[in-house]
Amino acid sequence: MTGVTLKVGIIGAGMVGSAAAYAIALMGHASQIVLVDLNKALADAQAEDIAHAVPFASATSVRSGSYDDLKGARIVILAAGASQKPGETRLELLSRNASIVGGIVREVLRAAPDAILIAAANPVDIVTQIATRVSGLPASRVIGSGTILDTARFRTLLGRHLGVSPFSVHAYVLGEHGDSEVLAWSSARAGALTIGQVAARVNVPLDEAVRARIDDGVRNAAYTIINGKGATYYGIGAGLARLVEAIGRDQHAVFSVSSVSDNVEGVRDVALSIPRVLGADGVVTDLVPELDPDEHDALRKSAELLKGQVDKLEL
């Protein structure tokens, strides 16, 4: 991408942070990438390795650095957080991550006060909510990766079943990036037709058994990948690179990202994913799809679950 002048910071040089840096660099979506990690040797190694790949694809500068080196960054990806310890409850992990994320956000904004924050650490909706509260930034400037990957999985499986490219499938996963997520079947389209109409045209079934199989494939994809290779990172790395491109180029493209919403299905002040338009200043507007009664109810329950978790934390 010729002529790009965009500095991106990435906090956390582990699998997700390094995969994002690699994808952003190869796609040429930024002029500079700075990797920051408590483990300086890891950040140095990841930056050097990615820098060696760049001459094959783009002119992006990739280096490691400190928080001070984030000065001038327009986008900072938060990919650092604590892992669950043996015997530790999810709430205890959330509380530890709240403290860690708070410290990271304060350091990022000290160096790059005008940056848009993209949360990628899990649980991503809670991290997004914490980062919004700690930073004091408008919700439009704190974006969680949310269900972008779940949405990609949904489109992939639908496209595979219907014999249509996922590029031409328009379907979204809403709510929590987790067990309570909602596959919005009623608004799913391929081209200008509903998926039911497409299924009839190509003569493939779309009954409850097919829907259950696709639903299971979306919800459990991460577990399957983790069981096979230990972690997921390529998919989310590419997704984060795409968000960087949309913001950096002011594309006003639509993604199912997480952000704090004033009101979702009657639940106030909660971060979760709905389709949102992204531009140079972050979230431009929300585009909530039409839902059937069951989907409305499932989205409300997802919002209530997330709200309940956040309200237990001392932020």
Active-site residue flag, 252:
no
Does the CA dihedral 267-124-25-149 come out positive or negative? negative
In contact, 147 and 256? CB cutoff 8 Å: yes
| Greatest extent of the chain over all pairs of C-alpha atoms, in Å | 59
Residue among 161, 177, 252, 296 flagged as catalytic? 177
Of 75, 56, 66, the C-alpha closest to 4 is 75
Q: What is the 3-state secondary structure (H, E, C) of the chain?
A: CCCCCCEEEEECCCHHHHHHHHHHHHHCCCCEEEEECCCHHHHHHHHHHHHHHHHHCCCCEEEECCHHHHCCCCEEEECCCCCCCCCCCHHHHHHHHHHHHHHHHHHHHHHCCCCEEEECCCCHHHHHHHHHHHHCCCHHHEEECCCHHHHHHHHHHHHHHHCCCHHHEECCEEECCCCCCEECHHHCEECCEEHHHHHHHHCCCCCHHHHHHHHHHHHHHHHHHHHHHCCCCHHHHHHHHHHHHHHHCCCCEEEEEEEEEEEECCEEEEEEEEEEEEECCEEEEECCCCCCHHHHHHHHHHHHHHHHHHHCCCC
Q: Are 76 and 118 in contact (CB under 8 A)?
A: yes
Catalytic residue numbers? 177
